[in-house]
């Protein structure tokens, strides 16, 4: 996707990727894509594919019992969406980086990714090299999502109530959820449920099946 991107670097879980491979979890409901991704990543020295699962629920269940560095998650899964998986994964004690791998990647999905706290968004038509590069990037703790153009952010805000708009604005500005909760005087749990509601509202703008 063209246009500016939001970037945020933080010390990631694996600061020295050359020594230990990046442990990846693949989530896609299409078997051919799971196989293709596995083979592609297996050919690279710095990746280790832990598992490839077909659903959001299976991904969360697997990540609870394993140390995952990067989850590569298809957005359109049968059952719960990849964004649901993203928010769930980000709530784990040791959250993996989440890269949304989607057939449609436009600004609407990018905005929903911000709310789902995903770290990156890659189009399924991207070339293999680009995908690998983005996995390495998010594993280093770089968050890179397309910036939502102001006109579009406006039309999306109309779907949200005034407080959700404020939360959305702060998320777009890259403010951490903990700081948002403090600013708005919410408990972390209160903000959580708001974020789930917002995600549902924003996701509906996208091409959900």
Does 151 bind another protein (CB under 8 A)? Our answer is yes
Distance from the Cα of residue 166 to its chain's centroid: 21
Q: 3-state class of 37 per DSSP?
A: helix
Q: 121 pairs with which residues across the strands?
A: 100
CB nearer another protein, residue 157 or residue 186 = 157
Binders of another protein in range 61-80 (CB under 8 A): 76
Q: What is the C-alpha separation between 62 and 54, in angstroms, rounded? A: 11
Q: How many CB atoms lie within 10 A of CB 12?
A: 18
> How many chain residues touch another protein (CB under 8 A)?
30
Q: What is the C-alpha separation between 95 and 97, in angstroms, rounded? A: 7
* Polymer length of the chain: 209
CB of 141 to another protein, least distance (A): 25
Q: Which residue stretch of 9-17, 114-122, 184-192, 199-207 sits at the interface with another protein (rule: CB under 8 A)?
A: 199-207
Q: What is the C-alpha separation between 132 and 85, in angstroms, rounded? A: 21
CB of 66 to another protein, least distance (A): 23
Does 152 bind another protein (CB under 8 A)? Our answer is yes
Q: Give contact residues for another protein (rule: CB under 8 A).
A: 30, 32-33, 35-37, 39-40, 43, 76, 103-104, 106-108, 124-125, 127-129, 131, 151-152, 155, 158-159, 204-205, 207, 209
């Amino acid at each position: 996707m063209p246009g500016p991107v939001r970037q945020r670097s933080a010390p990631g879980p694996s600061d020295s990727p050359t020594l230990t491979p990046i442990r990846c979890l693949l989530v896609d409901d299409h078997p051919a894509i799971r196989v293709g991704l596995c083979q592609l990543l297996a050919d690279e020295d710095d990746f280790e594919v832990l598992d490839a699962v077909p659903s959001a629920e299976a991904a969360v269940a697997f990540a609870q019992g394993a140390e995952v560095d990067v989850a590569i998650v298809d957005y359109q899964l049968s059952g719960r969406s990849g964004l649901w998986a993203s928010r769930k994964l980000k709530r784990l004690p040791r959250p993996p980086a989440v890269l949304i791998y989607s057939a449609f990647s436009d600004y609407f999905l990018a905005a929903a990714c911000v709310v789902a706290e995903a770290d990156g968004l890659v189009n399924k038509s991207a070339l293999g090299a680009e995908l690998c590069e983005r996995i390495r990037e998010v594993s280093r703790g770089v968050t890179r999502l397309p910036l939502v153009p102001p006109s579009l952010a406006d039309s999306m805000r109309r779907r949200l109530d005034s407080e959700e708009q404020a939360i959305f604005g702060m998320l777009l500005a890259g403010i951490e959820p903990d700081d948002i909760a403090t600013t708005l005087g919410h408990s972390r749990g209160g903000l959580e449920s708001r974020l789930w509601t917002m995600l549902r509202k924003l996701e509906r703008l996208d091409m959900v099946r």
